[in-house]
Amino acid sequence: MKKRRLIFGMIGGLLIIFIIVTASNVMLVNSRQPSPQPTEVVINEVKAVEHLSKAIMYKTISYQERSKFDFTEFDNFISFLEEIYPSVHTQLELEKINEYALIYKWKGSDSSKNPIGLTSHYDVVPVLAGTEENWEQPPFSGTVENDKIWGRGTLDDKVGVIGILEAVEFLINDGFEPARDVYLMFGFDEEIGGDEGALKIVNTLKDKGVTFDFVLDEGGAIVENMVPGVDQPVGVVGISEKGSATAELSIEGSGGHSSQPKNHTNIGRIASAIAKLEDTQFKGDLTGPGEDLFEYVAPEMSFPMRYVFANKVIFEPIIEQILLQQPATAAGIHEVLKRHQAP
Ligand SMILES: [Zn+2]
């Protein structure tokens, strides 16, 4: 009897120690958010919105088959940029690579410093034929309604092109001169890999011996309801890019007559192969950039999540399970590198 009481006492004691230690870990978590520097935005908002809305209307579509590109739309888009950003086009040097990839060079006061680069792309993905009716607003309408701009490219990535040019046009007119050279680089075939755009831009600048201090590209966004346990919007900064892989599955087998179907037709066999492939998911591993993200976001989380993250050493398997449930967070922790050793 005494022995049992002793065991219960020990378990109770350990539990109390566990609670005290883990709870005090939560206390030690301090916000890592920098205090924002308020800036007065003086850009003409109405004009900026109108510019993006109009930019959406150009059907600068990247098709997998390059022969399908309608380059008159690309020509018209470039002319449109020249028209709405006159200062950019008189003050900056514009070099067109492969006719449609654009490099703007903005000379700074000290060209001996390494330049910085801002990049974006103005091509968009096609709209699947027959799905036009499913759109709340037509994909190339650029409709502005209830503080929203609709259409292909609003997020990916005409907003980048227009945003950058809008800012530079404003700064030039405001008499600003950058301290170092600034390159603005816009691709036209990013959605199909960028071989004729971004890659050619890189090669051109490499040949000229241009080395950047840093380059900012698209990626990341201000997201809501994506990070579990955080109610506020989160600014997700993309600091690396994942690769991609395409698998082509083929099968060999005999055919047959539809009056005498086999139990497993070739279609069924290949379908189960696809299902198996889909079931073989990458494991979760909270390390690297994914871990860094949560180091910064965890202090802003609701208590249960903050508790779990403050005691990551203990709860890591649970955290990974939570993050694996959503594609966006799962992508941040998928353990890709070691996966190829798996069966
Ligand atoms: Zn993009």
Q: Which strands make up the sheet holding 101-106, listed edge to edge?
A: 93-97, 101-106, 182-187, 116-121, 214-216
Q: How far is the CA of 193 from the centre of ligand 1 (A)?
A: 10
Q: How far apart are CA 153 and CA 55, in angstroms?
A: 8
- Is the Cα dihedral 150, 140, 125, 219 positive or negative? negative
Each residue of 230-247: b (16+ CB within 10 Å) or e? beeebebeeeeeeeeeee
Q: Which positions are catalytic?
A: 123, 190
Q: How far apart are CA 53 and CA 331, in angstroms?
A: 31
Amino acid letter, 119: T
Contacts of 193 (CB under 8 A, 6+ apart): none
Predicted local distance difference test score (pLDDT) of residue 43: 86
Antiparallel, parallel or unpaired: β 148-149 and 182-187:
unpaired
Q: How far is the CA of 57 from the centre of ligand 1 (A)?
A: 17
Q: How far is the CA of 185 from the centre of ligand 1 (A)?
A: 13
Q: How far is the CA of 75 from the centre of ligand 1 (A)?
A: 20
Q: How far apart are CA 42 and CA 44, in angstroms?
A: 6
Antiparallel, parallel or unpaired: β 144-145 and 148-149:
antiparallel
Q: How far is the CA of 191 from the centre of ligand 1 (A)?
A: 7
Q: How far apart are CA 155 and CA 164, in angstroms?
A: 14
The predicted-structure confidence for 243-296, as pLDDT tens digits, reads as follows: 778 889 999 988 888 888 888 889 999 999 999 999 988 888 888 888 888 889
Q: How far is the CA of 137 from the centre of ligand 1 (A)?
A: 21
Predicted local distance difference test score (pLDDT) of residue 121: 98
Q: How far apart are CA 94 and CA 74, in angstroms?
A: 16
Per-residue pLDDT of the chain (343 residues; tens, 9 = 90+): 678 888 888 899 999 988 888 888 888 888 988 888 888 878 899 999 999 999 999 999 999 999 999 999 999 999 999 999 999 999 999 999 999 999 999 999 999 999 999 999 999 999 999 998 899 999 999 999 999 999 999 999 999 999 999 999 999 999 999 999 999 999 999 999 999 999 999 999 999 999 999 999 998 788 888 888 888 999 888 887 777 788 899 999 888 888 888 888 899 999 999 999 999 888 888 888 888 888 899 899 988 888 988 898 899 998 898 889 888 888 888 876 544 444 4
Q: How far apart are CA 292 and CA 308, in angstroms?
A: 16
SS3 track for 176-225: CCCCCCEEEEEECCHHHCCCCCHHHHHHHHHHCCCCCCEEECCCCCEECC
Q: How far is the CA of 159 from the centre of ligand 1 (A)?
A: 10
The answer to whether residues 330 and 284 touch, using CB atoms and an 8 Å cutoff, is: yes
Q: How far is the CA of 9 from the centre of ligand 1 (A)?
A: 60
Antiparallel, parallel or unpaired: β 116-121 and 214-216:
parallel
Sequential DSSP letters for 11-28 = HHHHHHHHHHHHHHHHHT
The predicted-structure confidence for 153-194, as pLDDT tens digits, reads as follows: 999 999 999 999 999 999 999 999 999 999 999 999 999 999
In the three-class reduction of DSSP (H, G, I as helix; E, B as strand; rest coil), residue 144 is classed as strand
Residue 63: which H helix or E strand, with range? none
- C-alpha to C-alpha distances, 99 to 117, 186, 203, 293, nearest whole angstrom: 20, 12, 15, 39
- C-alpha to C-alpha distances, 13 to 8, 16, 20, 21, nearest whole angstrom: 8, 5, 11, 12
Domain coordinates in residue numbering, the chain? 45-218, 265-341
Phi, psi of 215 (to 5 degrees): -130, 135
The answer to whether residues 227 and 322 touch, using CB atoms and an 8 Å cutoff, is: no
CATH code that applies to domain 45-218: 3.40.630.10
Q: How many residues does the chain have?
A: 343
